[in-house]
Amino acid sequence: MTLPRRQPAWSASFATTAEEHLDDVYAYLVYLTRDRSLAEDLAADTFEKALKLWKRFDPARGSARTWLCRIARTTALDWFRAEERRRRREERSAAPDRLDAGFVEGLSPELEAALRELSAGEREVIALRVLLELDNDEAARVLGISPTAVSTRLSRALKKLEEKVSIHV
């Protein structure tokens, strides 16, 4: 008869660890970004990365909370760098009027007005997912974010669009 192999005391499941520290990681990201919606996106990215790295977590080097906050910080810094690069690309690209005209051509005046009120990032995720019909993975690769973040951003952008269209009607 063989006895079941005993796991070390620290080997909590990832789900348990994530649930235990989710609020702390989210609060830290809200502090870093000063934006609750962005913090939600980054928290999702953080825990996605942490899940992939979970087997490499070493409790001898620090607590799970510290490890998760370190991943969250790296995720936020990566996002800030990517956002800065995106802004520079937009500034170098075509004039906003030309971009907007191409994006909204042939749409109803109400929808055109609502689209113009969205941010460039919101219009971009709508363009990739709705107009170009890219799937989440493809859009994520284009935007340099996770598929989960693409879904979240698209959902929020479409909700804003829907609210703006209903106001204009």
Dump pLDDT digits (tens) for 97-154: 444 444 545 677 777 778 888 887 788 888 888 888 888 888 888 788 889 989 999 9
- Range 32-38 contact pairs with CB under 8 angstroms and sequence separation of 24 or more: 32/72, 32/73, 32/76, 33/76, 37/156, 38/79
For residues 150 and 60, give the distance between their C-alpha atoms in angstroms, rounded to a whole number. 35
Q: pTM for the full model? A: 0.52
Buried b (16+ CB within 10 A) or exposed e, 100-118: beebbeeeeeebbebbeeb
For residues 67 and 50, give the distance between their C-alpha atoms in angstroms, rounded to a whole number. 9
Residue 48 pLDDT greater than 80, yes or no: yes
For residues 163 and 117, give the distance between their C-alpha atoms in angstroms, rounded to a whole number. 11
- Cα distances (Å, whole numbers) of residue 169 to 26, 104, 105, 124: 37, 17, 19, 24
